[in-house]
Amino acid sequence: MSAFHLPQLFCPITPELHPLMREIEGDALERWSKYLGVHARHSVFHKLQRSHFPFLLGRCHPDVPQENLRAALDFLIWNFSWDDQVDVGEVPAEWVRQQSEMARAVLEGAIPYHDAPPLLWLLASIRERIAERMPAQWMKRFIHACQCYFEGTIWEAEVRGNRVCLDVDTYIQLRRLSVGTYMGFTQVEAIEGFLLPEEVLAHPALQALVETATDVIAWANDLFSLAQDLQDEFHPNLVFSLQKERGLGLQEAIDVAVDMHDTAMRRFLEQEKSLPSFGEHDAHVARYVTGIRRWVRANVDWSIQTGRYQEGTGEAAPQRVRVA
């Protein structure tokens, strides 16, 4: 593999962090060691510890009570654990589809069968805790966001199974699903403690903002995970699609991907400034947009901090990316 470096990413959003972050992480690690039935020396626990998932959510929601984060944090860790099972090498797309259908059923209230995988039982417990606090209409929207993610992971498995590299436009459609931002953005209301009407959330200006923020996060994630993806043949990544479609070398494609990230970041900032008034809902819309804005910045800061993307070896391992 050729050596490469990741240029500076443009992200002028001020980073934030929950003041009780260490306590929140310790509490989460203690819960998950019990969920998984592992001790502190177990490799699974060590991977969880190195990933620092609580710091991602703690950067997204720096000023809410600790109890507001627990169920959402458990779902976030569940989501990454799930992704580790379905987003790898030779996992058949049909298996991913079957697992996703079971997860969707659990989110809708189904009880897992007695010998179902532990992650399905965990999802059932997390779902119950979330549903206790949130109304049915919000749960319906959250389940739809999860379904978008499931569809993206199934599509990615099909791409890997077919051993193809998608054109850029098709890859963008796939990545907007598989990156999972819709789940995080939907939970902003649940964690921050407000609800927006469906007609407000469906406004074209807000929909465009969500799509742009999704692109910013997706392209940053593709760059941070590039060293790992290079070791997994036919793993979908924006850089690989750019290479194939435009006949670029690896570093050239990386530079184009960085430019796409920075362009989307600037578009997000412009869209944020030009949002229309939503009348009596302006205050809650502002909190919703702040939540999305924090996700954009948190993704970059957590990606630099986490051990999740620092496992590339040899000359392909990149320098740590800088952020402006």
Q: Does residue 33 lie in a domain region?
A: yes
Q: Does residue 10 lie in a domain region?
A: no
Best CA proximity match to 222, nearest among 162, 175, 184, 292: 175
Q: Does residue 14 lie in a domain region?
A: no
* Segment 8-28, tens digit of pLDDT: 999 999 999 999 999 999 999
Q: What is the span of the domain harbouring residue 214? A: 21-316
- Number of compact structural domains in the chain: 1
Which structure tokens are listed for 117?
A: 């995988």
Q: Is residue 66 exposed (0-12), middle (13-18) or buried (19+ Cβ within 10 Å)? A: middle
At 121 the pLDDT is: 94
Q: Is residue 312 exposed (0-12), middle (13-18) or buried (19+ Cβ within 10 Å)? A: middle
How many CB atoms are located within 10 Å of the residue 104 CB?
A: 14
pTM for this entry = 0.93
Instruction: Report the CATH number that the domain containing residue 214 is assigned in CATH.
Output: 1.10.600.10
Q: Does residue 306 lie in a domain region?
A: yes
Q: Does residue 203 lie in a domain region?
A: yes
Q: Does residue 13 lie in a domain region?
A: no
* Segment 220-260, tens digit of pLDDT: 999 999 999 998 878 999 999 999 999 999 999 999 999 99
